[in-house]
Structure 1
């Protein structure tokens, strides 16, 4: 006879995702005492603690990290069975838990979500925004089911599929001295002050890779500022003599208005691929599978617009 219940697994999963009994209770619309009891029953069944306390937050124990993927897989499969029961209604409803990197969140997701909701008007998006490393971490911790990133993912627990193409550009304000130069060199770039995205972002990784490919592993930049927000980065470059490197579709309006200028640097390979991520072995609900396929129908050769 099975002694572990779905209610116990749901409580375990919610605490792992949200970090506390109170947050888990709110997420599942249950009382804190019910969540605490379910967790205690599960730990008693398994004869091992699943969490330890770190300040006010509950953090997975080693054993908890080991069984979380199995628990989540069971819950996913049960959800799939429930969804099959409603398949005759031809409706796609439920929550889409996705983590997306910053540039994608600002400039691609608004149109994508709007277009998808025309197909599945009863879907609800729960979006988390961070840099590429944070998106990968969200998937590993089961805080999201799909990720959209600008960088490379080498995690063996994550499936990475090419999604679409994008180009980065070197930008400056119109009064920057390099805007008057017709043939910009690599040494010219090294001589400038820079404002860049933070380490761990896909944009920063692509830029540094391009610089290393052309100038070798030991190039040195004068870095004036690092920022995790593209909009703030653009504003800083507009009012200072800094160079920056961001996605071309993030600066379309500023270029059209003349607020920023794209410098010609054909010696740098700043093209990159954006990727869609899922966990290896994950069973997606019909809604999540439909959303994944919707994203992938945008050819890898299409530019982000």
Structure 2
């Protein structure tokens, strides 16, 4: 694969704002990272990073170079794709972002089988809430992502991946509540655990409630937690309830750790989506996108 490794080192340091993290990601020593950056600064005659108090940040010239580096490395990717097409082989790198539920419960199996099928493609996965993934793509730190929730940025391009449903669940051992069904009015009295602000799960729940004339402010919110796994474990040790993706609780339902409580006349459905910058549809990204669709194009 043709590339400019020194530019790649610079971009990795600029994205991570850490020489140590960049060295670990690139599988080279930290002194080697420092040498590459120093040589770039010598060639350009400017400082690229401000160093101090154990942290680094980009200088004005560093920000300029990062913009050029993104464009140059994209061109190298297109060059490699073009020749890979001629040889009927695929190689290169995909920088993928995924919101928490997708990263934890849908992607691991897809990534493993994709890697077996295309061993020369390097996959880098960044996980965070929907808002964070969109920020990383808009900042060109990721090639594309898979997110929960609705399109929210005009600068980004969204395509449907698959449908999902949020269901109300509680611990199977919650002896204080044994009903299999409830109503929205009764839901207001139940202690809820919800995701953090910026979560696609929370945004979808708020929208569904609003469509029925309710809001989160009308609910009894006991706790906000930053991950689905954290919420599940909180449910095990309390009499609380939470809206979680059906994709995230399949094992817990089978193992009788959690149970679903139906809500009369209320469903929370959402769509998982691919997201990328407008006009950026590289061959490897398209390959991975189609691979995902062929395995998980599920409609509820």
TM-score by length of 1: 0.83
Counterpart Cα distance in 1 of 2:175 and 2:41: 60
What is the aligned counterpart of 2:207 among 187, 206, 209?
209
**1:180 aligned to 2:182?**
no
How much has 1:297 moved relative to structure 2?
4.3
Q: Check 1:251–1:137 CA distance in 2 against 1; reply closer, same or farther (3 A cut).
A: same
1:212-223 pair list within 5 angstroms: 212-217=210-215, 219-223=217-221
* 1:105 is aligned to 2:87: no
* Partner Cα distance (1:215, 1:231) in 2: 30
Give the 3 Å change call, closer, same or farther, for CA 53–279 of structure 1 in structure 2.
Answer: farther
Structure 2 residue aligned with 1:32? 34
Q: Any conservation in 2 of the 1:17–1:141 contact (CA below 8 Å)?
A: no
Describe the shift of the 1:185–1:232 C-alpha distance in structure 2 as closer, same or farther (beyond 3 A): same
Could you tell me which runs of 5 or more consecutive residues in structure 2 were left unpaired when the two chains were aligned: none
In structure 2, what is the equivalent of residue 189 of structure 1?
Answer: 187
Secondary structure at the aligned position of 1:215 is classed as coil
In structure 2, C-alpha distance between the alignment counterparts of 1:96 and 1:256, rounded to whole Å: 34
Conserved? CA contact 1:179–1:261, under 8 Å: no
Answer yes or no: is 1:274 the counterpart of 2:276. Answer: no
- The 8 Å contact of residues 149 and 202 in structure 1, kept in 2 or not, is answered as yes
User: Which secondary structure does the structure 1 equivalent of 2:103 belong to?
Assistant: helix
- The verdict on how the C-alpha distance between 1:222 and 1:142 changes in structure 2, with shifts beyond 3 A counting, is same
In the other structure, the counterpart of 1:224 is 222
- How many residues align structurally? 293
- TM-score scaled by length of structure 2: 0.84
Q: 1:41 is matched with which residue?
A: 43
How far, CA to CA, are the matches of 2:270 and 2:209 in structure 1? 14
Give the superposition deviation at 1:129.
Answer: 1.3
Shifted more, 167-176 versus 17-26: the winner is: 17-26
CA distances 1:88-113 after superposition (whole Å, capped 9, x unpaired):
33222233221111111111012211
CA RMSD, aligned part only? 2.9
2:88 alignment partner, one of 87, 90, 98: 90
